[in-house]
Structure formats: C-alpha cells, structure tokens
Structure 1
C-alpha cells in the first residue's frame, strides 16, 4: 500500500489540480488500488474540503497546527 498524504490549509485554488495529477498518475500504476490519497485538512475556511470530497480522496480534519505536526500525523 502506498499512501500519498497532502497537508492542506485553504488550498481551494490548487487542491483540485493536485489531486487530478495524482489520480492521472495512479491510473498508469500497475496496481492503482494499492495507492491511497489522504488530505489532512488543517481547519480550512474555503472550499478545500468540498473539492477533496468531490475527487474521492480521503480527508482527515485536524485542529489548526503547524505544517510539521500535520505531516507527522
């Protein structure tokens, strides 16, 4: 299993394209079901969560933290 973890805070401008790129690459992988995409949402107040859900990625909501602690989650 390969986990791609993306920390996000108010990333509505970029998260859709980021996930589209990962999903496109995932299709070309020999075992696409062995790749999971997890977005760690750091209390975004924009449409980040809605965009992530629409792309089918997993979302983990966290209290507002610094980027290092979100990555270590």
Structure 2
C-alpha cells in the first residue's frame, strides 16, 4: 500500500456491529430510567401518606398539634 492509497474501510457487517456496540455501550437512557424509578417511588410514598392522613386518629393528632402551636401563653 502506497502513501496515495485510501485508508481501508471495514466491511459492512463490521461497521454495523461496531455501530451497534457503540450504541449499546452508552448510558444514554440511564438517567431517564433513574428519574422514572424515583418518580414512581415518590408517587407511592405520596399515596401512602394520603391513606395515613385520612385516618381519624391522625387527623386528631394533627389538629391538636396545630391548636397547641397557635395557642398563646
């Protein structure tokens, strides 16, 4: 091969495999998946809080807490 020869190109299947390997090795969707998991956990926790706070006992405790906090002297 002389200095004027063009660089050799890999065969078509090799180029496809190389592109596939590069595409699969990245972490492009990892952040999106992490946000989705964190969002689902937050929604689950919020739902649990709604269920707990709808109880009469918890409502009474919170009402007493607010009354005591607003009572002067």
Please state which structure has a larger fraction of its residues in helix.
2
Give TM-score, length-normalised by structure 1: 0.27
Give TM-score, length-normalised by structure 2: 0.27
Q: Which structure is larger by alpha-carbon Rg, 1 or 2? A: 2
Please state which structure has a larger fraction of its residues in strand.
1
Greater relative contact order (Cα 8 A, min sep 6): structure 1 or 2?
1
